Chain A
């Protein structure tokens, strides 16, 4: 067998003519003094909706809760996960319609109290079919 000679290829030495590339660039200005103090901008969504999965919205129609600041056309934020306790304002389904009223529990009786003298309280007894649908947590109104 014929022996082959190995040729070694050696890189040629050259002067280093190149320059380092600084990809990010070097900015000459003064860095923003606020950079270390960045915060997330206020989000009403986060503030008003504590439980995304249980939050629904409703529109007020009528003036039965005027005294509590709920007026015709206002937007209600409703959280279904909150327990319906005495004095809470709740969206209820009673006698075939949705209504918003204050819950009152007095001597083992349940009342839905409007906050407008034009309307009278609703006493809940066995004949009414009542669903306490959710608790109102915020009212949004347009001025």
Chain B
């Protein structure tokens, strides 16, 4: 059996642990630069604040309903997440950390356990030790665990946060309840295709012919069908594969109009990506750069453009990646536009081990050494201590985080005060 553990409204719950005044009150967490809503308490959901709601558009809704607003405090959320994952690891040796607030556990060999009681124990311990409420869905495959977790979330009063699909009746009932669009990993295209042939829910999907599914949805679709039928196909990915793409994108608080200012941002984003590449010992060979105007200001001239730049050799050097990103910007930059968002996405990622040397053009060997030195110094002295000359040397760009809570668990001068 597999379990999917999901922290309820994770970011909002983290804020509440250190600010219990917020219990039972509506609150939302905003993305980097306070752009849009990325986490909502149940109360905020009930008030009709959608996921991804742009903060400036909902200002009056927030005010009218006394919704508490927070900037995202990732040092705090990351620390609480680590604590939870460590607690979960003590319940089974096989765990896959799926995201900051989700993990799959494998209960293989737990046949003699009363899983209901065991999950109850996990839930209680996580809540007591960290203050975070969780939901646990259990099923014979990862996909069914995901379905069970959805049932927990939808019926918290009935399930008390634990639901186990352990019989065929329960499985069929769950699949009939689950709309096809909400099946884990089905995708928009496939669900549309299935709707057309009157497949409304997950159960209808499992009643289809295997060959048809393989033909129309490839082997991935067939695997999904088998999983929903109760056969475990997908195993735990205990070691996460290297990231296939790395991105740094930001909305700007104020719009940017000059090339020079935009160049600075693009270079900084590129370097941020290069650092992430080096952390996972990888290189890349293509860089996607994009710029966008403010799509919410319909009155302004709208412009959005992106370009892929291929590097002549695999690289993870700040200097090279920044250079090609800025070159890309040069090709798509159009004067007279008020740019609101820009980003750098790195693809074509290869590991250091499979580094290919090209015949004509290779990276200067001193770059590797230089990057090593830069990483070493920044680790010791703090991030952004060494910059390229096309980056802002003064600290002009600071993330907008007007409603940031304290780093209660990672900074000694920001811990809670008790009277």
Contacts and interface: CB of A to CB of B under 8 A. Distances in A.
A51 B408 CA distance: 17
Contacts of B129: 51, 53-54, 80-81
A59 B20 contact: no
A58 B418 contact: yes
B419 A53 contact: no
A56 B419 contact: no
B359 interface: no
A135 B125 CA distance: 15
B418 A76 contact: yes
Contacts of B191: none
A93 B130 contact: no
A60 B129 CA distance: 21
Nearest to B82: A53
A121 interface: no
Interface residues of A, number: 25
Tell me the dominant secondary structure on chain B's binding face: helix
A131 interface: yes
A62 interface: yes
A85 B191 CA distance: 54
A98 to B, nearest CB: 4
Contacts of B54: none
B128 interface: yes
Interface in A67-117: 75-76, 80-81, 91, 93, 96-100
Tell me the dominant secondary structure on chain A's binding face: strand
A54 B87 CA distance: 9
A112 B416 CA distance: 19
Given A80-B128, A80-B130, A131-B20, A53 B86 contact: yes
A50 B87 CA distance: 14
Of A53, A62, A81, chain B has the most CB atoms within 10 Å of the CB of: A53
Contacts of A60: 417-418
Contacts of B87: 53
Interface in A21-77: 51-54, 56-62, 64, 75-76
A66 to B, nearest CB: 12
A53 B83 contact: yes
B412 interface: yes
A96 B21 contact: yes
Given A53-B130, A80-B129, A61 B417 contact: yes
B417 A59 contact: yes
B20 A93 contact: yes
A69 to B, nearest CB: 15
B417 A98 contact: yes
In the complex, the 5 A-B pairs of residues with the closest C-beta atoms, listed nearest first: A54-B129, A100-B418, A98-B418, A93-B20, A53-B83
30 contacts: A51-B129, A53-B83, A53-B86, A54-B129, A56-B409, A57-B415, A57-B416, A58-B415, A58-B416, A58-B417, A59-B415, A59-B416, A59-B417, A60-B417, A62-B419, A64-B419, A75-B412, A80-B128, A80-B130, A91-B416, A96-B21, A98-B416, A98-B418, A98-B419, A99-B418, A99-B419, A100-B418, A100-B419, A133-B20, A133-B131
Interface of A: 51-54, 56-62, 64, 75-76, 80-81, 91, 93, 96-100, 131, 133
Given A58-B418, A59-B416, A133-B20, 10 more contacts: A54-B83, A56-B415, A56-B416, A57-B415, A80-B128, A80-B129, A81-B128, A81-B129, A98-B416, A98-B419
